[in-house]
Amino acid sequence: MTPGADTPAGPLTGLSHVQLRVSDVAASARWYTAVLGLEPFRSDPAVGYVALRHRPTGVVIVLTATPGDVAVHVGPLDHLAFAVPDASALEAWAGHLAAIGIDHPGVVPEAGNPSLQLRDPDGTAVELVAPPPRRG
């Protein structure tokens, strides 16, 4: 597949988050907070992650606990996640990708958000994530 004038624009609205593998979540959280002015956003000690957000831009960096020797072998980047407008746009894009031969498992819930999880040709994880469904 070669990108060109016939290739539709994806439903991206921006970067959702970057997830990094780190050997010490607390130490990395302190570093990113001090260096980039990030603030705690979400965390789950049982899973071993903390999400930090830069309030003015909405940039989120997720730090996930990974033993140091594993991070060296697989690299520090866990995945890139791009925001899409809503679940229906995500479902439509998943259908488009399947129609053009891009293999994927379909839209699944990820921490309450509709998510489409893909792998690029080199194996890098790329996620398209919609906001959680509105309640009420």
Fold of 14-129: 2,3-Dihydroxybiphenyl 1,2-Dioxygenase; domain 1 (3.10.180)
What pLDDT shows up at residue 78?
Answer: 84
pTM, rounded to two decimals: 0.68
19-76 pLDDT, tens digit each = 988 888 888 898 888 877 889 999 988 888 999 998 988 889 999 988 666 555 667 7
What pLDDT shows up at residue 117?
Answer: 93
* Cα 105 off chain centre by: 16
Task: Please give the structure tokens belonging to residue 52.
Answer: 């930090």
When the pLDDT of each residue in the chain is averaged and rounded to a whole number, the result is 85
Residue 74, Ramachandran bin (φ over 0: left; ψ between -120 and 50: alpha; else beta): alpha
> Does 115 or 58 have the greater pLDDT score?
115
